[in-house]
Amino acid sequence: MTTTTTIVELDEDVDHGEIDLDIGDPIVTFYPPLHLQRRIWILDLLRKENIVEASISVLDVGCGEGQLLSVLAQPAPWLAPPSSTILPSVDDCTYKPSDVENLHMRRVTGLDISASDLAFAIKDTQPPDPASQQDPYSLRVTRFEDLSVRIFKGGLQTLNEEFVGVECIVCTEVIEHLPPDILPALAPMLLGMYNPRRLLITTPSYTFNARFTRPSAPRSQRERQGFPDPTGRTDRIFRHHDHKFEWTIDEFHAWCRETAEEWDYELEEMDGVGRAIQDDPWGRDKELGDATFVVSFLRKESTSTEQRTEKARAVLANLNLSGDAHELLAEHHHTAHKSSRQPAPLPEIAEKIQAKMEEQREAILPLEQLWFDPTISTLCGGWIEMLIRAADESDGLNLLRAPKEWSIELVGGVKQPQEELWPDTSLDLIPDGWIPGQDPDEAYEDDDSSSLSTTGADGDVSWNGSQLEDDTQEHPWHKEDHDNGWSEAGSWGREEQPYDHV
């Protein structure tokens, strides 16, 4: 028998109505998945300012299997607009299909302590096989900018001089795994010694953990779904067995403010990501906030690099931490196409566009469809503005600047008649129902025993080689947390963690 009554634990000032006590624990899912929401937040911050300068180099501390690194290693579809000395009045042909800017990465670095995880990062950031570039059935974006990718093994408490001056440091789902003696070294090392323009950090919210259970759930139930604090310092139940702490909202804000003030950084953003797509039956969504805390530290210029470095050295010396020197496991060089920044004359580009449209017998083609033909993009030297200007100035082409999609029109339509492959034959002479190999005089019989269907044992379409992940987990809290930058004991950034999405 189901009993329905008012939940007494709820805020009396809120009208929660009548709630079924037998509903069980609330369902909590995220869309997009939480690990993607964290990644989107990071990428949006990298795009925020002057893209060419602000995101030219990134260090991922606790990179794990390299999920973020592999994204950053992808080439931009085209170069940033050329200077006016190369293309006058370039603003007239600047192409922005959306508000999402392209990242023009030049140097990407990963650091983690797990060699097994880094093996995946090395594989996923290496340059593509040249043979695959020639595969007509694969679509690859032509690279027009050089990129260097380096993968290091080591702990964050050890100084790496090669990281000094990096533009942006990312530390996602890492700090909660740091041992108590290592955590105090994070701010002086990352902000003081490396002195980045921006530091991006994400970490789980302990406050949000209550969202996974009923307000009246006994501790024994919550222990079955989570992990008691392994350090014994608190009676809290964490989301992951290797978490050394999980902060409440107030604790997170306090740490961020103290760290920013200590190292003369501005709190550019201090917020959260990850709200369940379902409403909480007990109306706690506003109170519990987001599943993940996010913070962006932006460097102030009131303190010199030398002052920060001197202060950081003193703090780290007092901590007296030891660690092996970082080991460079791999270094990849992604080379730009030889045509990069070497465009052909505009009339030659326009002639190629016309020839391509005649070849495809299309009077109108989307701008990007033409661009992703490497014979055209390389002719433009990697600048899509060259393609636009060539079409705009050509008498044989019209540039159509529709709000949603730019296109190029072939003036007068397709001129060359379609070549007849078999001029002595006619489709009109083929009997209805005829199939190749059959005498046209024979009557066509529909034999159900002979089927052209490809369904059945061999009919399933399989995404061979895709890295699908198993979300089946032992603990209900963990079912969402399988694909991020979390760490098991002995690894900061292991991507295959049982509680990735939360």
132-189 pLDDT tens trace? 666 666 667 899 999 999 999 999 999 999 999 999 999 999 999 999 999 999 999 9
**Residues with Cβ < 8 Å from 12, sequence gap 6 or more?**
none
For the domain that residue 383 is a member of, what is the CATH number?
A: 1.10.10
296 & 361 share domain = no
Task: Report the pLDDT averaged over residues 460-465.
Answer: 36
**More confident position, 419 or 159:** 159
Q: What is the CATH number of the domain that holds 157?
A: 3.40.50.150
- Does residue 298 sit within a domain? yes
3-state SS, one letter per residue, for 235-298: CCEECCCCCCCCECHHHHHHHHHHHHHHCCEEEEEEEEECCCCCCCCCCCHHHHCCCEEEEEEE
- pLDDT, residue 419, reads 65
What tens digit of pLDDT does each residue of 396-406 get? 999 999 988 99
In the chain, the number of structural domains is 2
Enclosing domain of residue 352: 346-410
In a domain, 424, yes or no: no
Cα angle 197, 198, 203; round to 5: 160
Question: 98 or 354, which is more confident?
Answer: 354
CA 146 to chain centre: 20
Given 301, 334, 367, the domain boundary residue is 334
Domain-ending residue, one of 410, 429, 457: 410
3-class state of residue 487 by DSSP: coil
- pLDDT of 269-294, one tens digit each? 999 999 999 999 999 999 999 999 99
Give the range among 338-352, 429-443, 476-490 with minimum mean pLDDT.
476-490
The long-range contacts involving 435-439, CB below 8 angstroms and separated by at least 24 positions, are none
Output the pLDDT for position 417. 66
492 lies in some domain: no
Q: What confidence category does residue 462 fall into, taking pLDDT thresholds of 50, 70 and 90?
A: very low
